[in-house]
Amino acid sequence: MSIKSVDERRLREVALTPDEYRAIVEQLKRAPNEVELGMLGVLWSEHCSYKSSRALLRRLPSTGQGVVQGPGENAGAVEIGEGWSVVFKIESHNHPSAIEPYQGAATGVGGIIRDVIAMGARPIALLDSLRFGPLPASARHVEGVVAGIGGYGNCIGIPTVGGEVYFEDCYASNPLVNAMCVGLVRTDQLMRARAEGAGNSLMLVGADTGRDGIHGASFASLELDEQSAQRRPAVQVGNPFLEKCLLEACMDLAHTDAVVAIQDLGAAGLTSAVAECAGRVEGAGARIDVGRVPRRERGMTPYDVMLSESQERMLVVVRRGREREVETIFQAWDLTSAVIGEVTGDGQLTVLDGEDQVARVPVRLLTDGVPMRRLIGLPPEPPYGLEVDALPPLADPGASLLRMLASPNLSSRRGIFRRYDHMVGDSTVVAPGGDAAMLRIKGTRLGIAVTTDCNARYCHLDPHLGAQLAVAEAARNIVATGARPLAVTDCLNFANPDRPEVYWELEEVVAGLAYACRALDLPVVSGNVSLYNDSNGTSAIYPTPVIGMVGVIDDYGKRLGAGLSAEGDFVLLIGSSHNDLGGSEYLKVEHGHVAGRPPALDLTREKAVLRLILSAAQSGYLHSAHDCAEGGMLVALAEACLLGGIGVRCPAIRPEPPLRLDAAFFGESPSRFIVSVPSRAMPEMQSLARRHNVELSLLGLAGGEVIEFEGQLKLSLAELRMAWDSMVIS
């Protein structure tokens, strides 16, 4: 077989390697035509095929108690009780957001919502995990992304209840935009996007098809360079209003039995939707006629139609003879629907343009034919030493605290989340601003807690440990609300894995995730991988495995907030502190280094602490709980005070050597919480901590309008709030 029949430029356009082309010709036993080449190109892209990461991902635990749907569908699902399941997934939209922040972020939100709808679930919450270059240079980008996420979520009426934002140099030309959607469904009504039943109809519903984003999937699988500018027509403009109608119509559909499956159209459009849907059923195929696809523009070729990434479209597999019913439902929402083909039993994806056959490819070749890439991982030199003993001692804890609170990575995110409707749905019982957010499940006492977390600086310094710390922190955030962690979705954002040190990071991160998830009994039920977050091959992002986590509480009446809630309460530090300054925000803000080893994590200790907090919350001993994360104990304490509007008086901290004072205040030892306990519950709380074998120390008493450590620092809440509210993004 020779590759001469196709020129190399054309191969580059569809992002296939000569080897991959050869594999295609071998399996097809002929050369693919133009349309087939385009279809294979997108489905064999990294973005769709996971050819560099699939083998690694198998290491993640994906089963466990309550898992109703693991990876392989549009989203994962976990049972939460009383016949309900939560459906959730996180996804990246990094490249489009780098090119066009508003629309890139907006369509990222639109895409992840459709994944949840495809499961038959009603989306009830959104979260956004963002990474930018330093302010103020990145301000316009931040502004665009935040406006885009709000623009889509607010319009469609799904509350955006959580997320995270970090600023680091490494994201300056490769910002990250990850969006997570959480939905709710009766477990027995969960749908799966399987094209069952030869002869059933394939209907395309929602927006008309235009020339948007052709080759978007391949685009997401390449590094950004000057040529990206020419690919700009790839940018799509979202229509949240249309998606709202699509959402409601799909919810109406789920009440009929006319429908076998719903599949969203995302990257690689119709090609991917049809192939994926058929690919999930042994021996299934599909025949579609592009001539029947409603179009927005004139003069579109079959190639354009098959590869278009127009937003707000769904593929519906309809029982034969029931098409009218489906059409009527969509008509009620003023949406177009068209029968574009049918399910077959021949295992082939056949594309017609009227009478003419324009493509015919085995479904398996599209979905599973791509040769997996075997990459090599090599650890880089570990250049990140830190001599903690060489650091000057903490001079003025108060001044440091003010600078820390004003640092963009720690300051209040209110300026961002107040631009998101986080209340629509009348279910948000723990609002954004603290740890996880919580939504009640109407008609029950159940609540679900949701969060996204990742300290990528830790992952940069030690990917294996950093990944574990991300899982542990997410679990702590869930537990801080009184909820029990259930399951994980992850978004693995990495640089170019062809570079051995990047692939090594990926391997290490996946191993760390697997290890932590096993230890904490947290199955990974869905996820996404975004590679090639480099620009011009020079600046690479930190490895950024964003953890999305969902937890459940049996009675949301027992939920906890992060803020102090009553004067006179005892304020306690749960867990033990060590000289954990490596990779800390303190080290960066006060000493200008990103160095050292991230804090050591003992997952057995972590579990004990999580159990203690859950059990104390359950018993009603706690008035509030807040986890200690970036910025350490003192920043967590200040946040608890600011969120509650109540100060705290504490005796001076006299750490026992070798613990340093700066580490006691600002060190980032994991497995710690700040909790407030009413005095009457103190004895019980103390004995509970003893029983769990967890260290508990009394910090001080809640009350007043200042935070004071006698003789060490005294600051008014007003001063602290000024520093904390200082982030300016627009």
Partner 1 sequence: MIARVIVTPKPVVNDPQGLTVKQGLASLGFREVTDVRVGKYIEVNLEGSSEHEARRRVEEMCRQLLANHVIEDFQFDIEPERKRR
Partner 2 sequence: MKFGVVVFPGTWSDRDCGWVIDQVLGQELVYLWHKDSDLKGCDCVILPGGFAYGDYLRTGAIARFAPIMEKVGEFADRGGLVWGICNGFQVLCEAGLLPGALIRNASLEFRCEWTHLLVERTDLAFTGQCTERDVLRVPIAHGEGSYFADPATLSGMEQRGQVVFRYCDAGGRVVPGANPNGSLHNIAGIVNSRGNVLGMMPHPERCAEAELGGTDGLKLFRSVAENAFKVLVS
Residues that bind partner 2 (CB under 8 A): 150, 154-157, 239-242, 244-245, 333-334, 417-426, 428-429, 431, 440, 442, 556-557, 730
Q: Is 129 in the site for ligand ADP (CB under 6 A)?
A: no
Cross-strand bridge partners of residue 202: 317, 341
310 binds, among partner 2, partner 1, ligand ADP, none (CB under 5 to 8 A by kind): partner 1
71 binds, among ligand ADP, Mg ion, partner 1, none (CB under 5 to 8 A by kind): ligand ADP
**Closer residue to Mg ion, CB minimum distance, 236 or 535:** 236
Let me know if 500 is exposed, middle or buried by CB neighbors in 10 A (0-12, 13-18, 19+). Answer: middle
| Interface of this chain with ligand ADP, residues 612 to 671, rule: CB under 6 A | none
| Nearest approach, Cβ of residue 715 and partner 2 (Å) | 24
| Nearest approach, Cβ of residue 227 and ligand ADP (Å) | 25
Tokens 């509480």 map to which residue?
553
Q: Is 304 in the site for Mg ion (CB under 5 A)?
A: no
**Closer residue to ligand ADP, CB minimum distance, 483 or 492:** 492
Report the alpha-carbon angle 280-521-448, nearest 5.
80
419 binds, among partner 2, Mg ion, ligand ADP, none (CB under 5 to 8 A by kind): partner 2
Residues in the chain: 730
488 binds, among partner 2, Mg ion, partner 1, none (CB under 5 to 8 A by kind): none
Among positions 55, 237, 431, 706, the unique one binding partner 1 when judged by CB under 8 A: 237
Among positions 47, 93, 194, 211, the unique one binding partner 1 when judged by CB under 8 A: 211
Q: Is 60 in the site for ligand ADP (CB under 6 A)?
A: yes
End-to-end CA distance of the chain: 57
**Is the N-terminal amide bond of 658 cis, ω within 30° of 0?**
yes
Rounded to whole angstroms, the Cα distance separating 288 from 202 reads 8
| Nearest approach, Cβ of residue 238 and partner 1 (Å) | 8
| Nearest approach, Cβ of residue 108 and partner 1 (Å) | 16
**Closer residue to partner 1, CB minimum distance, 228 or 496:** 228
Rounded to whole angstroms, the Cα distance separating 641 from 635 reads 10
Q: Say if CB 189 and CB 154 are below 8 A apart.
A: no
Q: How many Cα neighbours within 13 Å face the side chain of 137?
A: 10
**Closer residue to ligand ADP, CB minimum distance, 52 or 671:** 52
**Closer residue to partner 1, CB minimum distance, 213 or 551:** 213
Other C-beta atoms lying within 10 Å of the C-beta of residue 387: 8
**Closer residue to partner 2, CB minimum distance, 215 or 440:** 440
Rounded to whole angstroms, the Cα distance separating 660 from 296 reads 66
Q: Is 422 a catalytic residue?
A: no
Q: Is 232 in the site for partner 1 (CB under 8 A)?
A: yes
Q: Is 225 in the site for partner 1 (CB under 8 A)?
A: no
Q: Is 236 in the site for partner 1 (CB under 8 A)?
A: yes
Rounded to whole angstroms, the Cα distance separating 35 from 258 reads 32
Among positions 160, 528, 533, 577, the unique one binding ligand ADP when judged by CB under 6 A: 528
Q: Say if CB 560 and CB 477 are below 8 A apart.
A: no
Contacts with Mg ion: how many residues (CB under 5 A)?
Answer: 3
Torsion angle, alpha carbons of 313, 318, 320, 326, to 10 = -80
Q: Is 304 in the site for ligand ADP (CB under 6 A)?
A: no
Among positions 46, 100, 115, 473, the unique one binding Mg ion when judged by CB under 5 A: 115
Pairing of strands 348-353, 356-362: antiparallel
Among positions 85, 103, 544, 579, the unique one binding partner 1 when judged by CB under 8 A: 103
Q: Is 63 in the site for ligand ADP (CB under 6 A)?
A: no
Residue in 93, 422, 464, 626 annotated catalytic? 93
Stretch that binds ligand ADP, among 20-28, 229-237, 527-535, 584-592 (CB under 6 A): 527-535
- Give the Å distances, CA to CA, from 195 to 262, 365, 570: 9, 17, 59
Dig out the tokens for 472 from the structure: 């542990």
| Interface of this chain with ligand ADP, residues 102 to 121, rule: CB under 6 A | 115
| Interface of this chain with Mg ion, residues 242 to 271, rule: CB under 5 A | 264
Q: Say if CB 488 and CB 30 are below 8 A apart.
A: no
Stretch that binds ligand ADP, among 325-333, 476-484, 521-529, 616-624 (CB under 6 A): 521-529
Stretch that binds partner 1, among 80-88, 207-215, 680-688, 696-704 (CB under 8 A): 207-215
**Closer residue to partner 1, CB minimum distance, 233 or 658:** 233
Please choose, from the candidates 7, 47, 9, the residue with its C-alpha nearest in 3D space to the C-alpha of residue 219: 47
| Nearest approach, Cβ of residue 482 and partner 2 (Å) | 13
Q: Say if CB 457 and CB 465 are below 8 A apart.
A: no
- Give the Å distances, CA to CA, from 377 to 380, 507, 597: 9, 7, 21
Stretch 468-507: interaction string toward ligand ADP, x if CB under 6 A: ----------------------x-x---------------
Tokens 């008509």 map to which residue?
331
Rounded to whole angstroms, the Cα distance separating 208 from 250 reads 17
Other C-beta atoms lying within 10 Å of the C-beta of residue 718: 9
Q: Is 235 in the site for partner 1 (CB under 8 A)?
A: yes
- 682 SS3 class: helix
Q: Say if CB 503 and CB 534 are below 8 A apart.
A: no
**Closer residue to ligand ADP, CB minimum distance, 142 or 205:** 205
Backbone CA torsion sign across 201, 205, 209, 213:
negative
Tokens 């699902």 map to which residue?
77
| Nearest approach, Cβ of residue 95 and Mg ion (Å) | 17
Q: Say if CB 434 and CB 561 are below 8 A apart.
A: yes
Q: Is 239 in the site for partner 1 (CB under 8 A)?
A: yes
| Interface of this chain with ligand ADP, residues 71 to 90, rule: CB under 6 A | 71-74, 89
Cross-strand bridge partners of residue 540: 534
- 162 SS3 class: strand
Q: Is 264 in the site for partner 1 (CB under 8 A)?
A: no
Dig out the tokens for 651 from the structure: 């005796």
Rounded to whole angstroms, the Cα distance separating 58 from 412 reads 38
524 binds, among Mg ion, partner 2, ligand ADP, none (CB under 5 to 8 A by kind): ligand ADP
DSSP-derived letter for residue 81 is E
Q: Is 311 in the site for Mg ion (CB under 5 A)?
A: no
11 binds, among Mg ion, partner 2, ligand ADP, none (CB under 5 to 8 A by kind): none
Report the alpha-carbon angle 348-353-357, nearest 5.
45
Q: Say if CB 182 and CB 87 are below 8 A apart.
A: yes
Dig out the tokens for 239 from the structure: 């229509």
Q: Is 606 in the site for Mg ion (CB under 5 A)?
A: no
Helices (DSSP H) in 376-435: which residue ranges?
Answer: 397-406, 414-417
**Closer residue to partner 1, CB minimum distance, 136 or 620:** 136
Q: Is 226 in the site for partner 1 (CB under 8 A)?
A: no
Rounded to whole angstroms, the Cα distance separating 148 from 535 reads 23
| Nearest approach, Cβ of residue 302 and partner 1 (Å) | 18
- 429 SS3 class: strand
Residue in 47, 95, 141, 215 annotated catalytic? 47
- The closest residue (CB) to ligand ADP is 527
Stretch that binds partner 1, among 210-218, 442-450, 526-534, 706-714 (CB under 8 A): 210-218
Strand order in the sheet with 67-69: 67-69, 76-81, 84-92, 176-186, 122-132, 160-167
Q: Is 47 a catalytic residue?
A: yes
Kindly list the residues in this chain that would bind partner 1 in the complex (CB under 8 A): 99-100, 103, 207, 210-212, 232-233, 235-239, 241-242, 296-297, 310-311, 334
Could you give the residue numbers annotated as active site?
Answer: 47, 93
What residues line the site for Mg ion (CB under 5 A)? 74, 115, 264
Q: Which residues form the interface with ligand ADP (CB under 6 A)?
A: 48, 57, 60, 71-74, 89, 91, 115, 266, 490, 492, 524, 526-529
